[in-house]
Amino acid sequence: MRNSATSFSRSGLSDWIVQRVSAVILGVYTVLMVVVWLGHPTFACWHAFMSSTSMRIATLLALLALAGHAWIGIWTVLTDYVTVRHMGPKAVPVRLSLEVLTVLALFVYLVWGIQIMWG
């Protein structure tokens, strides 16, 4: 069995579990946001709700779940479709460059989200 240095974890099963758990977290968070938005459409209610510590923690959890979910999904697509078989010898540097760009973008989005919620 070969491990990739750029995978989220060291096994496909772990990646699968992280992907599914993060999807559930994102689904629950999305339903919660829609229900609250429909029930409290005014800015004052929404601001008070989002300013609570519990919602800040829930939003942080959703941001982390989104980052993990996105990384595993993008990494899987890149390893499946940016391959030597499809692109020849230039595939490895292209895939590594795309992975680095993805990690940088996810890091920026994560830090930006944390700054918005806790700043």
What residue segments make up the domains of the chain, in order of their start? 12-118
Residue 86 has pLDDT above 80, yes or no: no
Q: What percent of the chain has pLDDT over 70?
A: 92
Residue 85 has pLDDT above 80, yes or no: no
**CATH architecture of the domain formed by 12-118:** Up-down Bundle (1.20)
Buried b (16+ CB within 10 A) or exposed e, 103-112: eeebeeeeee
Residue 1: per-residue pLDDT: 44
40: left (phi over 0), alpha (psi -120 to 50) or beta: beta
CA end-to-end distance (rounded Å), the chain: 44
Distance CA 4, CA 96 (A): 12
- The mean pLDDT of the chain is 88
Q: Does residue 54 or residue 85 have the better pLDDT?
A: 54
- Eight-state DSSP code of residue 56: H
State pLDDT tens for residues 101-119. 999 999 999 999 999 988 8
Residue 5 has pLDDT above 60, yes or no: no
Residue 23: per-residue pLDDT: 97
Buried b (16+ CB within 10 A) or exposed e, 50-77: eeeeebeebbeebbebbbbbebbebbee
Residue 63 has pLDDT above 90, yes or no: yes
Residue 118: per-residue pLDDT: 85
Distance CA 27, CA 41 (A): 21
pTM: 0.82
